[in-house]
Structure formats: C-alpha cells, structure tokens
Chain A
Amino acid sequence: MIIIVSLLVLAMLVAAVAALIYRDLLSAVIASCLVSLLASILFFFLQAPDVAMAEASIGAALVTAIFVIAIRRTKRYEE
C-alpha cells in the first residue's frame, strides 16, 4: 500500500515539474490536469471520498476545459 502511494506521489510531483518546464502551454495544462487527477486518487486513499469527487469533477475536468478555452483565445506557446 505504502509503495503504491509513494509511486503516486512521485508521479504527481513529476507531472508538476512537467507543468513547470513545458513551453507549450497546452502540454503544461494537460500536466496540471494529471496533477489534479493523481491528487484525487490520493484524497481517496486519505479517506476523503467527498473531496476526491470534487477534485476529480472540478479540478481535473472543468479547470482543464476552462484553461484550454482561454489558451484558444490567446496564444499557445510561451516565448
């Protein structure tokens, strides 16, 4: 169990670092969506199903959609 949790935490941090270094904003947004999704799984392991549900439906779905719409209306690449 602790091994799985550690791997999930590691994957979450790697995704956050990817959001830091990608210069393509769309890739960075998808990486931050992955952070939210893995955080939602960790919330479930921490016995917080309500929060896991909110994070999965809001953090991973709606926030990503709002970001993608905003990027479509501005610029895709960071110069």
Chain B
Amino acid sequence: MRATVGLILLAVIGVGVGISLLAIPFGAPKTEIGDYYIENAREDTGATNVVTSVVVGYRAFDTLGEVTVLFVAALGLGAVLATAGGKRGRSGVEPASLILSAGNIFLFPLILLFGAYIFTHGHLTPGGGFQGGAVIASAFLLVYLSSPGKRINESGATLTESVSGLVFVAIGLLGLTYGTHYFLANFLPKGTLNTLFSAGIIPVIYCAIGLKVGSELAGVVDNLMEETE
C-alpha cells in the first residue's frame, strides 16, 4: 500500500521534472555572474582558484554563516547524546589488529600533513579548508579505530575550534577598518599570482576554517563513539 502510493507520487514528480528539464540544456552557458567571477577573480582577490575566491572572497559572509551552522550542529549532537551523571567510557570494543595499529603510527602524521597541505594551498590548487578539515578528521578517525580506548584531548580541540573561529571573525572586523570599510574586506597585500603567499586574507581564513572543521568533525566522531549508560 505504502509502496504503491510512494511509486505513484514518484511517477508524478518524475514526469514534472522531466518536462521542466527540457528547458535546461546540458553543457550550455547559463549564468552571467559566473562569467563575471571568472573574468575578474584574479584581479579582485588574487587567488587562481575561482571556486575558492567565490567561497572565501566574494561570498565570505555566507561561509561564516555556514561555519556557524556546522558549529551549532556539533553542539546539538553533543547535547542530544549527553546524559547527566552517567558514567562514560567505551565498553565491548575489541582491540585492533597489529596491522591497523602499526600502520596508524606511520600514517597519522602523514595524513595530518596532507590535510594541512590541502588547506594552505586552497587558493592555488583544488581543495581548501573544508576538504583539508575532513582529511584531518579522518586521521583522528583512524586513531579511534586503531586504539579504541583513546580519547582526543578535549580541551585542546575546544581551544583550536574557538581560536580559529575567533580568527575568522577578527579578520572580518579588521576589514572594517581598512580602505573600503566593509566586513571581510581584503586588507593584506595580494602578492603575485600563483605563489603561496598571495591572495591576501584568503589563505589565512582557509587555514582557520580547516582547523575549525577538522576539530569539529573529530569532536563529532568522538561524541558518537562515546558510550553513555
């Protein structure tokens, strides 16, 4: 019964979508604003990766809001799972095999380094703070898998997260004091194209986002693994 109703509803939606899709040809240019960004991103922001200059340059305020959403979700997850006064710990977890725990010793610093590389080069190559942060969180996931009893340093993670969030906001406020006087204005020199120290505030903000996303996602995994009885 339920499956039939679902299938009928899907068929109706499918026909409607199929008709409307005929008006959107695949592979044809569509938006004006995209052309504007591609033409002017290099002079405006100094970053060679146009996606990065849209995310952290033109629409940096959106990104601040998005980081806030991520923070609120992590906070909500902690609040939902927390039980007052219960004892904490992970029970019934088998110890990891030798391959996993030995491989972790060698791989953990390399994965951290790779994540840091991704978010420091976000304005030059594909990647950026969100991807680098996810790579760092997966390094911590590997630690949890290889040694189940281990916890991350909670105060260290909180400190990293708050400091990087504050850096993002502080850079935005410093933009108010400079030249054009708007939030998140680029007040650092843009440098030469295609070098590491270029694009003004973009690499700084992306480093802050990378550290924030990495510590937040590692905290999410840590909270979910916690057994509270």
A–B proximity contact (CB within 8 A): yes
Where the two chains meet, the residues of A that have a C-beta atom closer than 8 Å to any C-beta of B are: 49-50, 52-54, 57-58, 61-62, 65-66, 69-70, 73
Q: Are B51 and A50 in contact (CB under 8 A)?
A: yes
The dominant DSSP class at the B interface is helix
- Beyond A50-B128, A53-B126, whether A61 also contacts B134 by CB under 8 A is yes
In contact, B221 and A61 (Cβ under 8 angstroms): no
User: Could you tell me which residues of chain B, from 108 to 145, have a CB within 8 Å of some CB in chain A?
Assistant: 118, 126-128, 130-131, 134-135, 137-138, 141
Smallest CB-CB separation from B220: which chain A residue?
A66
Closest to A51 in B: B51
Check A65 against B221 for contact (C-beta < 8 Å): yes
Task: Decide if B217 touches A62 in the complex (CB within 8 Å).
Answer: yes
Q: How far is the CB of B220 from chain A (nearest CB, A)?
A: 7
Q: A50-B49, A50-B51, A50-B126 are in contact. Are A66 and B131 (CB under 8 A)?
A: no
Query: B131 contacts A50, CB within 8 Å?
Result: yes
The answer, among B134, B137, B138, B225, for a CB contact under 8 Å with A54, is B134
Contact B127 A50 (CB under 8 A): yes
Judging by beta carbons under 8 Å apart, are B131 and A53 in contact? yes
- Residue with the greatest number of chain A CB neighbours at <10 A, chosen from B51, B127, B134: B134
Question: Which listed residue (B49, B127, B138, B227) contacts A61, Cβ 8 A?
Answer: B138
Residue of B nearest to A55 (CB): B131
B224 at the binding interface (Cβ < 8 Å): yes
Given A54-B130, A57-B134, A62-B141, A69–B217 Cβ distance below 8 Å?
A: no
CB distance from B202 to the nearest CB of A (A): 14
User: In the assembled complex, which residues on chain B have CB atoms less than 8 Å from the CB atom of A62?
Assistant: 134, 137-138, 141, 217, 221
Give the distance in Å from the alpha carbon of A76 to the alpha carbon of B49 in the complex: 43
Please, which residue of chain A has its CB at the minimum distance from the CB of B122? A50
- Counting chain A CB atoms within 10 Å of each CB, the highest count among B126, B137, B221 belongs to B126
Q: B221 — which chain A residues lie within 8 A by C-beta? A: 62, 65-66, 69
Residues in B with CB closer than 8 Å to A69 are 221, 224-225
Q: With the chains together, A33 CA to B52 CA distance in Å?
A: 26
Q: Nearest Cβ in chain A — how far from B91, in angstroms?
A: 11
* Beyond known contacts A54-B130, A57-B135, A61-B134: 6 more, CB 8 A cutoff: A49-B126, A53-B126, A61-B138, A62-B221, A65-B221, A70-B224
Residues of chain A contacted by B220 (CB below 8 angstroms): 66
In the complex, which residues of chain A have a beta carbon less than 8 angstroms from the beta carbon of B131?
Answer: 50, 53-54, 57-58
**Chain A residues, Cβ within 8 Å of B217:** 62
CB-CB under 8 A from B49, the residues of chain A are 50
